Amino acid sequence: MAKKTKSKTKSKATRAKKSVQRPKGKSPARSSAKQRRAKGATPQSFVSAAPTQDASTGKFLADLAKVAYRAASTSPLAKQVADAALARATEAAEGLAAGMVDTVADKVFGSNRRRQKGQQNGHGLPEPSAKPWGQAGKALDGVRILDFTHVQSGPTCTQLLGYMGADCIKVERPGVGDITRGQLRDVKGADSLYFTMLNGNKRSITIDSKNPKGKEILERLVKHCDVLVENFAPGALDRMGLSWERVNELNPRMIYASVKGFGPGPYEDCKVYENVAQCAGGSASTTGFRDGPPLVTGAQIGDSGTGLHLAWGIVCALYQRTRTGRGQRVLCAMQDGVLNLTRVKLRDQQRLKHGPLTEYSQYGEGIPFGEAVPRAGNDSGGGQPGWILKCKGWETDPDAYIYFITQAPVWGAICDLIGKPDWKTDPDYATPPARLPRLKAIFATIEEWTMTKTKFEVMEECNAVDIPVGPILSMKEIAEEQSLRDTGTVVEVDHPTRGKYLTVGNPVKMSDSITEVQRSPLLGEHTEEILQKELGYTTEEVAEIKTSGAITAPAKPASAEAA
């Protein structure tokens, strides 16, 4: 068996070696246009027939694709050639990489070591970088995002991609921009925190998408970028002439990612904001106290939660594109995103058929369940009962509380700590099922103890004996928490018009993709830079674009100051 593996490995390596020894002059890439015409070949068929086992041909195909893409906006033929060349170059690169990785692996590990590693033979990946951790670029370096997002859900998504290194080109309406620039303003004349905290690590270009020249620039951007992200009301992007079909025609590799309020169905045309999604996704009906109205939560699970889901979908689509070479639509409905985050309540809905939900405190209180999952106040929602308890100072400090979990394995430690050692053996308290009908009274007794200490003292004493508790931290305390600054979760950023502000950095820490949090862009700050450096417009062309009204504010700009 071992022998078989070895010979297989060897023959692969030999094949790879042989292929790079192919006489360069014989590559069809070098045959003349005259020869090709004589054979009746089209440029595309020629490209498609090029061998992909040859490094120099692979490189030639990649270069050809680059050149052809430059001409693609004016010539459909150039576009076809570019697409064919790129597809073939990718195949060549994949084939060569696989061969090379095999050869390198043999050199580095020897064939025995490679066998031990089983299938871990590179899978077409390049040789591991020799650069120190954190110095080999960022996870999404080279990914270009056409960021057509506004308000919160879409911008959350693109900011996360920006934190991971993607180049986010945010398109905004001239003179107006993302409506949140002017919403909830705290500093006169400066972009609001609503905007700045959701649009870091992006560049801003102003384009009037309804101006003919503006449309032309947008089409160039579509061809230039890898991902289009948008969260307009249903149909708005189609009305701009950027339907999925059109975008796919312009750039078959583009991933077209959208946030909408609802998926296909009776509500698909509705405009949706955060709290609408929280209500329609099942969160509000299960949040709050049983005897009170439904409640929305302060965590923006509809907006930021959906943005996060969309970012995940985009990264998966980018990965799939490395195999298929084509883009796809990625849709995340806010209702679906909220439901995904509220899935434990759908779990409980199904459990209801089989009896009462014994971990809900209403069970212990003897209150019958109805047909739908009830609001459970501060019940923990898991199998370990928990509740929010007062701590020292609660009379004046609205956040002097702690979340206390009576986790079964540490029940003995809880009893000792609160001065009730007899509960450890008392049949009414010793087991989790015995405690369930008494939870209210148990938590009231624990509270007598927590009220003698600050939330941080409770935290310290409980954690010393592994009792899980959580202090209710105010936003003031979070803003001042040094450990969150140290990890880059809370970051202070400097802004040219509003000065220093705090933002939330990347909540995901990666050992080889280090996040640098940058301030949000001013409206249109990068318009000329993007037109010239990314899209290749000349200085004269940019001057013409300016006079066309495609990138400048109309004479009477609409008010950015919104409710």
CB of 88 or CB of 309, closer to ligand CAO: 309
Closest CA to 415 of 401, 426, 402: 426
Residues 6+ apart with CB under 8 A from 527: 204, 205, 206, 207, 551
Measured CA to CA, the distance from residue 496 to residue 49 in angstroms comes to 55
Catalytic residue among 106, 303, 348, 379: 303
CB of 255 to ligand CAO, least distance (A): 18
Nearer to ligand CAO, 335 or 450 (CB): 335
Name the 3-class secondary structure at 357. coil
User: How far apart are CB 234 and ligand CAO at their closest, in Å?
Assistant: 7
Q: How far apart are CA 316 and CA 314, in angstroms?
A: 5
Which residue, 241 or 536, is less far from ligand CAO as judged by CB? 241
Instruction: Work out how close the CB of 158 gets to ligand CAO at its nearest, in angstroms, rounded to a whole number.
Output: 12
Cα–Cα distance measured from residue 160 to residue 314, given in angstroms and rounded to the nearest whole number: 11
Q: Is 303 a catalytic site residue?
A: yes
545 C-beta neighbours (distance < 10 Å), count: 22
Three-class SS state of 145 = strand
Kindly tell me which of 210 and 329 has the beta carbon lying closer to ligand CAO. Answer: 210
The number of residues making up the chain comes to 563
Residues that bind ligand CAO (CB under 6 A): 151-154, 171-173, 207-210, 231-233, 236, 239-240, 259-261, 271-274, 303
Least distance in Å: CB of 469 to ligand CAO?
A: 33
Residue 333, H or E segment: strand 329-333
- As a whole number of angstroms, the distance between CA 315 and CA 139 comes to 10
3-state secondary structure of 374: coil
Nearer to ligand CAO, 167 or 274 (CB): 274
Tell me the DSSP string of 491-536: EEEEETTTEEEEEE--SS--SSS-----PPPPTTTTHHHIIIIIT-
Main-chain phi, psi angles of 554, to 5 degrees? -65, 165
Q: CA 226, CA 247: separation in Å to the nearest integer? A: 11
Q: Which is nearer to ligand CAO, 96 or 333 (CB)?
A: 333
Minimum gap (Å) between residue 156 Cβ and ligand CAO? 9
| Contact yes or no for 414/406 (Cβ under 8 A) | yes
Q: Smallest distance, Å, CB 345 to ligand CAO?
A: 22
Q: Just list the catalytic residues.
A: 303
